[in-house]
Structure 1
Amino acid sequence: MTAVDFSLFYFANDNCSLDANRYDLLLSGAKFADTHDFTAVWTPERHFHPFGGIYPNPAVTGAAIAAVTDRIGIRAGSVVSPLHHPLRVAEEWSVVDNLSGGRAGISLASGWHATDFVLRPENYENRRQVVLDNVEQIRALWRGEPQSFVDGAGNTAEVRIFPPPVQRELPIWVTSAGGVETFRNAGRIRAGLLTHLLGQDLDDLADKIAQYRAEAGDAAHVVLMVHAFLGDDEDEVREVVREPMSAYLRSSINLLLGSQLPGAKRIDPAKLRESEVDFLVQRSFDRYYDDGGLLGTVPKALEVVERARAIGVDEIACLIDFGIDTKQVLAGLDHLNELRLLARKP
């Protein structure tokens, strides 16, 4: 059975307090990952909300990571492609590719929150199809092929991107929150797949990954994002994780309840009583801690890794910035690296 790769993933809940070291964990974690043979560092795109709000542009954070690392992959997890022209995506990430010596990669997401689409309101309704269309245009632009677009005078212009990238092909994933059709579509266009455990568990994922792999063939690459913090003592880790993880889940309540999955029952969080929100957060915390992340000790986390490997996960992206003190998180990376080494053994 093939080894599982490990990467770091960032999606912080920013409380908007004045903090001169807001990006310290990002850069320090990236340096650790770079020198300890992790596969990649992922940063997201998020707008207009404290949840993930310190990451409005993954190309900018990717450029910063490129400046302080030498080997590690630098990836967007994700570019919300319906908010951008494909030319802009290809240009920005070509710069990152040049700054990093050919280490760029992106996952493309359709977006989920209507407010984000103040940037491109015309793309909201058909956002999932826009992602698929953009993949092929970005790939062609990356290869240096001219593409035709309408210019400011209403004429058709053929344009190429500059600077030319280092890599001949741009590694591309498609992000899915759990919709099986997105899994299938990612396979049909021979892209990688990035997913997570919000609203789904490993048992749910098994069949979806099988359907994705049936379409993708030898192009298949599955990345699973999970929350991660490891230590020596199970009880101590649980108490360290409980408050920040609960606050993180509370902040993401719109994600938990306002799912865009086809057929999902939608609940307006504003109509819930505080006691109901507390109950949902506690239930979510218990599930995540017990079975939805790399939380606790290394032996416990290794069981999760083995289950993920068994259903076809190629890479685990460890989300580390969910509210624990930066010094504690950085100290805990040694345990995460221990897990990475154990998971690579046959």
Structure 2
Amino acid sequence: MPPTALDAPDRPLKHSLYYFASDEGGASAADKRRLLFDSARFADRHGFCAVWAPERHFHAFGGLSPNPSVTAAALAALTSNVRIRSGSVVLPLHAVARVAEEWALVDVLSGGRVDLGLASGWFPNDFVLAPPGTYERRGELLFERLEALRRLWRGESFEAVNPLGDSVSLRTLPRPVQPELPVWITAAGNPDTFRRAGSLGVNVLTHLLGQSLDALAEKIAVYRQAWAEAGHPGRGEIALMLHAYVGEDDDAVRRTVRAPMLHYLASSAQLVGRYTASVPFFQQRCAVDTGALTAQDVDDALAFSFERYYQTSSLLGTVDDCLDRLDHMRAIGVDEIACLIDFGVPTDEVLAALPRLAELFELANVSEAELAAVA
């Protein structure tokens, strides 16, 4: 029988901050910077395990992070405790040696707190940054370059030919603090990605855009079985990215997040509609070809998607509502919630809600024994 979440029912549920760098909501550059820096400082002081910096190019989700190593370097200088993660480097777009050097520097600046989240990428326009043919091979390139990246991180040399025709043997610099590179693979729809990550002994970052919790539970079981069969120690970690805004009153939370979430869902549907087999937010109500829909169809689908997402696939709501969702997520094998906070809610309101988000995880990690003692 494959290992499941029930093998460790009382483990703490970790929590981190994830920055999607959305341009939705029209926030100023100063507000975006303040949200990024002030929330990272809060996370560092209040028990969050990590902050995640994304890689985004050429569209509304580009925001402040076209290169996550730059964002990560700034976050490393501001913090002392949280892990500094990419969420994620699109590895097929980049020279492996350059990724190794940039993130080794962040590892030095942070005192050895780097985790590297890696992704294959999916949006065709991003691949104008890479040689022709990269897009078609992006899945395999991710894992090929992962192995090369691990070797460079350990200090192994690589062979190359410079522009003068000289064969050279090179090592990347600076040398990182951590001798081994902690890795997360971004995965969602494809169980084979979960299986491969488990076999390689790397962690997984995932989300609920286009997959249900039941479907995710099956993929986590596949991951844990592959991990065990490969003989790796431990069980690996699954981080689940969720939109997060916790308030004192459910109606007030809905009023605060509804417009930003509808903008987010609409932009996402337009962005992915041409390039994926299904549009996650419309999959239960309408066809992929959103161009065939009337304006009312689109509004109805967005409203339906918002309600479904709000109730089942987010940390939007009150502490009590979100506690129930966290119990379910822990039960299926999730180890960490990556709380996406920059999706268009005004900066002051996001920052004001962070103490309630921290309180949520404090309560989620109170054991039954501790509750009984209090009672």
TM-score tier (shorter): over 0.9
Name the CA distance, whole Å, in 2 between partners of 1:207 and 1:255: 28
Does the 8 Å CA contact 2:277/2:288 hold for their aligned counterparts?
no
Whether 2:294 is the aligned partner of 1:248: answer no
Whether 2:22 is the aligned partner of 1:13: answer yes
Paired AA for residue 284 in structure 1 = S
Partner of 1:207: 218
- Give 1:126 deviation, angstroms: 0.6
Deviation digits for residues 145-203 of structure 1 (CA, Å, limit 9, x no counterpart): 11223433455432211000011111101001321111111112111100001001211
Does the 8 Å CA contact 1:206/1:311 hold for their aligned counterparts?
yes
Partner of 2:273: 257
Name the CA distance, whole Å, in 2 between partners of 1:225 and 1:269: 26
Paired AA for residue 317 in structure 1 = A
Gaps of 5+ in 2: 1-8, 229-233, 368-375
Whether 2:319 is the aligned partner of 1:308: answer no
Partner of 2:56: 46
Q: Residue 317 of structure 2 is aligned with which of 281, 293, 296?
A: 296
Helix, strand or coil at the partner of 1:215: helix
Q: TM-score, normalised by structure 1?
A: 0.94
Partner of 2:93: 83
Structure with bigger gyration radius: 2
- Give 1:239 deviation, angstroms: 1.1
Helix, strand or coil at the partner of 1:181: helix
Map of 1:1-346 to 2, 5 A cutoff?
A: 1=9, 2-15=11-24, 19-120=29-130, 121-153=132-164, 156-217=167-228, 218=234, 220-254=236-270, 257-258=273-274, 260=276, 267-346=288-367
- Give 1:22 deviation, angstroms: 2.5
Does the 8 Å CA contact 2:119/2:185 hold for their aligned counterparts?
yes
Helix, strand or coil at the partner of 2:159: strand
Helix, strand or coil at the partner of 1:225: strand
Q: TM-score, normalised by structure 2?
A: 0.87
Helix, strand or coil at the partner of 1:126: helix
The Cα RMSD (Å) is 2.1
Q: Give identity over the alignment, percent.
A: 50
- Give 1:24 deviation, angstroms: 1.2
Is the deviation greater in 245-254 or in 274-283? Answer: 274-283
- Count of residue pairs the alignment pairs up: 346
Name the CA distance, whole Å, in 1 between partners of 2:168 and 2:296: 58
Gaps of 5+ in 1: none
Name the CA distance, whole Å, in 1 between partners of 2:289 and 2:102: 36
CA spacing shift, 1:17–1:35, aligned 2, 3 Å: closer
- Give 1:282 deviation, angstroms: 1.5
Does the 8 Å CA contact 1:144/1:161 hold for their aligned counterparts?
yes
